[in-house]
Structure 1
Amino acid sequence: MEKIKMTTPLVEMDGDEMTRILWKMIKDELLLPFVDLKTEYYDLGLKYRNETNDQVTLDSAEATKKYGVAVKCATITPNAARMPEYNLKEMWKSPNGTIRAILDGTVFRAPIIVKGIEPYVKNWTKPITIARHAYGDVYKGVEMKIPAAGKAELVYTNEAGEETRELIHNFETPGIIQGMHNINESIESFARSCFNFALDTKQDLWFATKDTISKKYDHTFKDIFNDIFEAEYKEKFDAAGIEYFYTLIDDAVARVMRSEGGYIWACKNYDGDVMSDMVATAFGS
């Protein structure tokens, strides 16, 4: 049998521990006998990421932008316990977070319903697709330990050198702080990806944040989604017979548990991480 020819290579991102073995088995048994496989290889194992000061992760992401498709194996995001185990130079950040930030992508994760594996939520009869914004938030967050009493502020300095300050907290004892960011351009890309995916799959789209508490950060997501929908997608959704609606994430969780599935649920980066794991577990995957 003649092998399938590839004209453009795909980016191959090798991973850690058991995934290296599984990926090799997949290539040897399922791909190489049938496909003239062409790949550009990057070793994202923690040991090599450490040797290259994580440059290999950046290089693999740029290669993905060049070729347009990649296969990535699971990788370790080190915690404190991994530092001596791998003799790490520093506690390297999540490769997934780094790659997603460079690609400004959206993660769509849908469980596969398999006969004989019943979901834990019995009324879920259709897959629930989690659309996850893949830029910023906790994955690009900056953290600081506060050693003693003092004042912590957010400071923005514009190009003219003018400052805007917002008090975070007046500390009387030691504590911790975290700063997160996002950019409108990436949120707009996320919104359009979600709307287009909903149209392609003919599924309703939900979007949920906590804008009642986060009146600037989360509310910006809500406003951008609404503005783009009204200007570019409302008529298309009406013609396709599908719906877009926004709700608080608390309400979304309650609605999800009562639903039968069969829709797309869009979330911010970290929310999407948590919700996709919850949905996958509940479907038994």
Structure 2
Amino acid sequence: MEKIKMTTPLVEMDGDEMTRILWKMIKDELLTPFIDLKTDYYDLGLEYRNETDDQVTIDSANATKKYGVAVKCATITPNAARVKEYNLKEMWKSPNGTIRAILDGTVFRAPIVVKGIEPCVKNWKKPITIARHAYGDVYKASEMKIPGPGKCELVYTAEDGTETRELIHNFTGAGVVQGQHNLCNSIESFAKSCFNYALDTKQDLWFATKDTISKNMTIHLKTFSRKSLTQSIRKNLKKPESPISIH
């Protein structure tokens, strides 16, 4: 039997522990017998990430941007116990977070619906897909331990040297602080990808934020998302009636 030819390499991101074994089994038993498999291989196992100072993660993300398709195995994001267990140079950040930041992508989590596997809700034929913005926020946050009493501020310094300050908290004792960010063009990209995905899969699109708590960030998120969705609708939908509804 002639194998299926591949014209574009698949970026192959190997993982940690059992996923390495499972992925090898999948390749050996389900892929290579039928496909002339071409891959651009990157070892994202924790030990090699540590050896390369996490450069391998960055390289794999850039390769994905180049080729447009990748498969990634599950990887360990180390905590304090893993740092000790693997004798790591430092507590490396989540590979998923690093890759998502470079790709500026959107994570779509959709259930796999196949015959022969019954879901918990047996009559659920059109399950929900969750879309999550994959850039910035907690994955690119800066964190700091506060040793004792003092004032913590959020400071923006413009190119002309002008400073804008916002009080975060007056600490009366030890604590922690975290700073998050996002970009307007990344928010617009997120909205467009959600619209395109909804259009391709013919799913209604719902947008939800916690604007009663996080007022500035979520208001900007809603504003730029609404702007991007409006542009996408005008560009992609020639007929006035839309095949999907947007909420």
TM-score range, shorter chain: over 0.9
Q: Which stretch of structure 1 is more off in the superposition, 108-117 or 229-238? A: 229-238
Cα deviation for residue 35 of structure 1 reads: 1.0
Counterpart amino acid of residue 72 in structure 1 = K
Q: Does 1:93 align with 2:93?
A: yes
**Distance in 2, Cα, partners of 1:65 & 1:116:** 36
Is the Cα–Cα contact under 8 Å of residues 199 and 243 in structure 2 kept in the other structure? Answer: no
**Distance in 2, Cα, partners of 1:124 & 1:222:** 30
TM-score (normalised: structure 1): 0.82
**Distance in 2, Cα, partners of 1:64 & 1:144:** 32
Give runs of aligned pairs for residues 164-183 of structure 1, distance below 5 A.
164-183=164-183
**Distance in 2, Cα, partners of 1:132 & 1:214:** 17
Is the Cα–Cα contact under 8 Å of residues 202 and 240 in structure 1 kept in the other structure? Answer: no
Give runs of aligned pairs for residues 7-18 of structure 1, distance below 5 A.
7-18=7-18
Q: Which has the higher contact order (CA 8 A, sep 6+)?
A: 1
Q: Which residue of 1 aligns with 2:153?
A: 153
**Distance in 1, Cα, partners of 2:223 & 2:80:** 39
CA deviations over 1:32-62 (Å, ceiling 9, x no partner): 1111111111000000000000000001111
Is the Cα–Cα contact under 8 Å of residues 6 and 37 in structure 1 kept in the other structure? Answer: yes
% identical aligned pairs: 76
Q: Which stretch of structure 1 is more off in the superposition, 212-221 or 18-27? A: 212-221
Q: Which residue of 1 aligns with 2:129?
A: 129
Counterpart amino acid of residue 142 in structure 2 = V
Counterpart amino acid of residue 222 in structure 2 = K
Is the Cα–Cα contact under 8 Å of residues 195 and 232 in structure 2 kept in the other structure? Answer: no
Give runs of aligned pairs for residues 212-227 of structure 1, distance below 5 A.
212-227=212-227
| 1:239 corresponds to which of 219, 222, 241 | 241
Give runs of aligned pairs for residues 34-183 of structure 1, distance below 5 A.
34-114=34-114, 117-120=117-120, 124-183=124-183
Is the Cα–Cα contact under 8 Å of residues 188 and 225 in structure 1 kept in the other structure? Answer: yes
SS of equivalent residue, structure 2 residue 24: helix
Counterpart amino acid of residue 59 in structure 1 = D
**Distance in 1, Cα, partners of 2:204 & 2:198:** 6
CA deviations over 1:47-95 (Å, ceiling 9, x no partner): 0000000000001111111111111100000011101100001000000
SS of equivalent residue, structure 2 residue 30: helix
Cα deviation for residue 125 of structure 1 reads: 4.0
SS of equivalent residue, structure 2 residue 19: helix
Counterpart amino acid of residue 89 in structure 1 = K
Cα deviation for residue 120 of structure 1 reads: 4.2
Counterpart amino acid of residue 80 in structure 1 = A
CA deviations over 1:96-125 (Å, ceiling 9, x no partner): 000010001111121023456554457744
SS of equivalent residue, structure 2 residue 23: helix
Q: Which stretch of structure 1 is more off in the superposition, 85-94 or 226-235? A: 226-235
Structure 2, gaps ≥5 residues long: none
Counterpart amino acid of residue 198 in structure 2 = A
Aligned residues: 245
**Distance in 2, Cα, partners of 1:115 & 1:17:** 30
Give runs of aligned pairs for residues 189-208 of structure 1, distance below 5 A.
189-208=189-208
Structure-2 change in CA distance of 1:88 and 1:130 (3 Å): same
Counterpart amino acid of residue 79 in structure 2 = N
Structure 1, gaps ≥5 residues long: 246-285
SS of equivalent residue, structure 1 residue 209: coil
Q: Give the aligned CA root-mean-square deviation in angstroms.
A: 1.7
CA deviations over 1:113-157 (Å, ceiling 9, x no partner): 345655445774421111111101111111111110000000011
